[in-house]
Structure 1
Amino acid sequence: MGGAERSVQYLAEALVKEGHKAVVISASEKNVCEAQDVNGVKVHYLSLKNIYWPFKKRSNPMFLKPLWHLIDIYNPWMVRYIKEIIKAEKPDIVHTNNLMCFSPLVWSEIKKLSIPIVHTIRDYYLLCPKCTMFDKYSNCEKQCLICKGYSFPKIYFTKFVDAVVGVSNYILEKHLSLGAFKGAKHSTIYNAYENKRYYKKSKSDQGLRLGFIGRITPNKGIEVILKAIDKLPLHKKNITLKIAGSGDKQYIKALSKKYSMNNISFLGFIPVEEFYPEIDVLIIPSLWNEPLGRITFEAYSYGVPVIASCRGGIPELVENESTGFLFDPEKPENLLKIINDIATRPELIEQMEDACLKKAMEFLPGKIAKSYLKIYLSLVKR
Structure 2
Amino acid sequence: MRILSIHNEYLIKGGEGESRRAEVAILEKYGNSVVSYVENNTKVAALSNVSVGLRTLWSNEAYSYVRKLLKEQKFDVVHVQNFFPLISPSVYYAAQAEGVPVVQSVRNYRFLCPNSLLYRDGHVCELCLKKTAKIPAIQHNCYRGNKAASATAASMLWLHNQLPTWSKIDRFISVSEFVKAKMVEGGFPANKITVKPNFVFPDPGLSAGKENYIVYVGRLQAEKGILLLLKAIPKLPTSIRVKIIGEGPLVPEVMALAENYNVDYLGKLPLTDTYEVIGKAQALVIPSVWYEPFGRVVVEAYAKGTAVIGSRMGGIPELIDDEITGYIFENDSVEDLVEKIHRVLSNKDMAIQMGLRGRAKYLNEFTPESNYEQLMAIYNDVVR
TM-score by length of 2: 0.82
Match of 1:194 among 193, 201, 211: 201
CA distance in 2, matches of 1:319, 1:199: 19
Deviations along 1:289-310, whole A, 9 cap, x unmatched? 1221110101111101110111
CA distance in 1, matches of 2:40, 2:337: 41
CA distance in 2, matches of 1:148, 1:28: 21
Structure 1 segment 95-114 matched on structure 2, within 5 A: 95-100=79-84, 101-114=86-99
Q: 1:263 to 1:195 in 2, by over 3 A?
A: farther
CA distance in 2, matches of 1:198, 1:176: 37
The residue type paired with residue 87 of structure 2 is F
Given that residues 219 and 248 in structure 2 are in contact (C-alpha distance below 8 angstroms), is that contact kept between their aligned partners in structure 1? yes
Residue 19 (1) aligns with residue 31 (2): yes
Structure 1 segment 25-174 matched on structure 2, within 5 A: 25-28=37-40, 53-54=43-44, 68-100=52-84, 101-143=86-128, 144-145=134-135, 146=138, 149-155=155-161, 156=163, 157-174=165-182
The 3-state SS of whatever aligns with 1:87 is helix
Q: 1:306 to 1:10 in 2, by over 3 A?
A: same
Identity of aligned residues (%): 27
CA distance in 1, matches of 2:123, 2:166: 28
The residue type paired with residue 309 of structure 2 is I
The 3-state SS of whatever aligns with 2:173 is strand
CA distance in 2, matches of 1:353, 1:15: 29
- Which is further off, 131-140 or 313-322? 131-140
The 3-state SS of whatever aligns with 1:22 is strand
- Which is further off, 3-12 or 256-265? 256-265
Residue matched to 1:252 = 251
Residue matched to 2:370 = 367
CA distance in 1, matches of 2:251, 2:351: 30
Given that residues 220 and 286 in structure 1 are in contact (C-alpha distance below 8 angstroms), is that contact kept between their aligned partners in structure 2? yes
Residue matched to 2:131 = none
CA distance in 2, matches of 1:198, 1:293: 19
CA distance in 1, matches of 2:182, 2:54: 23
Residue matched to 2:187 = 179
TM-score by length of 1: 0.82
- Which is further off, 160-169 or 261-270? 261-270
Q: 1:191 to 1:18 in 2, by over 3 A?
A: same
Q: 1:66 to 1:214 in 2, by over 3 A?
A: farther
Residue matched to 2:141 = none
Given that residues 26 and 201 in structure 2 are in contact (C-alpha distance below 8 angstroms), is that contact kept between their aligned partners in structure 1? no
Given that residues 299 and 366 in structure 2 are in contact (C-alpha distance below 8 angstroms), is that contact kept between their aligned partners in structure 1? yes
Deviations along 1:138-166, whole A, 9 cap, x unmatched? 12122151365432223441111111110
Q: Tell me by how many angstroms 1:197 deviates.
A: 4.1
Match of 1:378 among 372, 376, 381: 381
What is the number of equivalent residue pairs in this alignment?
A: 344
Q: 1:16 to 1:267 in 2, by over 3 A?
A: closer
CA distance in 1, matches of 2:74, 2:371: 24
The residue type paired with residue 229 of structure 1 is I
Residue 356 (1) aligns with residue 362 (2): no
Given that residues 164 and 184 in structure 1 are in contact (C-alpha distance below 8 angstroms), is that contact kept between their aligned partners in structure 2? no
Residue matched to 2:215 = 211
- Which is further off, 278-287 or 193-202? 193-202
The residue type paired with residue 138 of structure 1 is H
Deviations along 1:4-62, whole A, 9 cap, x unmatched? 22212221222222232222221147xxxxxxxxxxxxxxxxxxxxxx824x6xxx99x
The 3-state SS of whatever aligns with 2:33 is coil
Note the aligned Cα RMSD (angstroms): 2.4
CA distance in 1, matches of 2:21, 2:265: 30
The 3-state SS of whatever aligns with 1:282 is strand
Structure 1 segment 310-325 matched on structure 2, within 5 A: 310-325=312-327
Residue 344 (1) aligns with residue 346 (2): yes
The 3-state SS of whatever aligns with 2:43 is coil
